[in-house]
Amino acid sequence: MKQLVHPCWKPNAPPHITLNTDGACHGNPGPSGLGCVIRTYDGTFIAAAVDFVPISTSFIAEALAMRLGLSLAASYNIPQLHIQSDSEALISCIKGNDRDTPWAAAGIIEDIRKLFSSFTNLSLTHIYREANATADTLAQHGISLARYMSWHVRPPAFICKDLYYDNIGVSTARLV
């Protein structure tokens, strides 16, 4: 029997920094956007980035978004990072269930694992899509922007509402 849950964004405990990543794909395969956002333990914005891939699958977009986010976090020399993603398949592959890794993503997964060494303490958690709204908004923007762009210190206006809702714990009902 399904139950009703109310997922919302939750940061990790101090001093961990939280990275949310998401890939969006219009068609599978189709034009894809990548989005990532880095925040402090209290939800304060640090940085965000988007990118565009002309044609990709949804899995590849998710993996590329995580690689993008890890590269951005590494550029800030963040020692302790908590990663949140709504892609259970990607998390499974990264954690070693390589039999599930699409061959086209093998190199990207390897890059992700190598980037893990940039951090002294790292954790990876699956979250529901509803709790990943800010990264999703960024990924969707990546498709429409059709190029790489990043923001540092001040968030772009189009994610301010998502950041605010995350910080006050707004949730969306979901049956699981």
Q: In 10-118, which residue ranges form alpha helices assigned H by DSSP?
A: 58-75, 88-94, 106-115
Per-residue model confidence as pLDDT tens digits over 65-116 = 999 999 999 999 999 999 999 999 999 999 887 676 788 899 999 999 999 9
The pLDDT tens digits for 116-163 are 999 999 999 999 999 999 999 999 999 999 999 999 999 999 999 999
Backbone angles phi, psi at 40, to 5 degrees: -75, 175
Specify burial of residue 126 (Cβ count, 10 A radius: 0-12, 13-18, 19+): middle
CATH number of this structure's domain 4-175: 3.30.420.10
The token duo for 54 is 């002309």
Domain segments of the chain: what residues?
Answer: 4-175
Q: pTM higher than 0.75, yes or no?
A: yes
- Note whether 51 and 148 are within 8 A (CB): yes
Q: 71, 33, 70: which is closest to 52 by C-alpha? A: 33
